[in-house]
Amino acid sequence: MNNSIKELLSATVDEMLKFKMGYPSAAFSSMRGVRISRDNTEERISIIPPQEGVVLRILSSRQHPYFEEVATSELDRDALLKKASYFRERFGISELRENNKKRRDQVNTGFHRFW
C-alpha cells in the first residue's frame, strides 16, 4: 500500500471522527495475479486485472451493538467521504453520540454487557 492510500484512509477516518461516529475504521484491500488454466487441448495464461477497494466500518447500535460497513472501489477523497456520509444519513449524528455516551457510562461504572 502506498503512502497516498494511507493518507487518504487516515483523512477519511479523521473526518468520520469529527462526526462522532462510533469506532470508525477503514480497510484497504488489493488483489492482483495471474490465472493459469490447462485442459487436454490447450494451456492458457492470463493476467487478472488489479482489483482494489476500501471498506469503511463503524460500531453502531440502536439497542445492541453491531458493525455497519460500506464498501467502494473508488479510491478518491470525494468518493470516500460520500460513502462515509452514508453512516450519518442512516443513523443520524445525534443517535451515534447518544450510543457512544451510553457505552462510556457503562465503562465508567464498570458495567459491561456482552451480546
pLDDT of 44? 92
CATH number for the domain formed by residue range(s) 3-107: 3.30.2290.10
Domain ranges across the chain: 3-107
The grid cell for 15 is 473526518
- For residues 12 and 56, the answer to whether their CB atoms sit within 8 Å is yes
Cα 53 to Cα 85: distance, rounded to the nearest angstrom: 17
Q: In this predicted model, which residue has the larger pLDDT, 106 or 112?
A: 106
102 vs 14, higher pLDDT: 14
Q: Is the pLDDT score of 28 beyond 90?
A: yes
Alpha-carbon span 32 to 34, nearest angstrom: 7
pTM of the model: 0.64
- Say what percent of the chain tops pLDDT 70: 73
Pairing of strands 65-72, 25-38: unpaired
pLDDT tens by residue, 32-55: 899 999 999 999 999 988 899 999
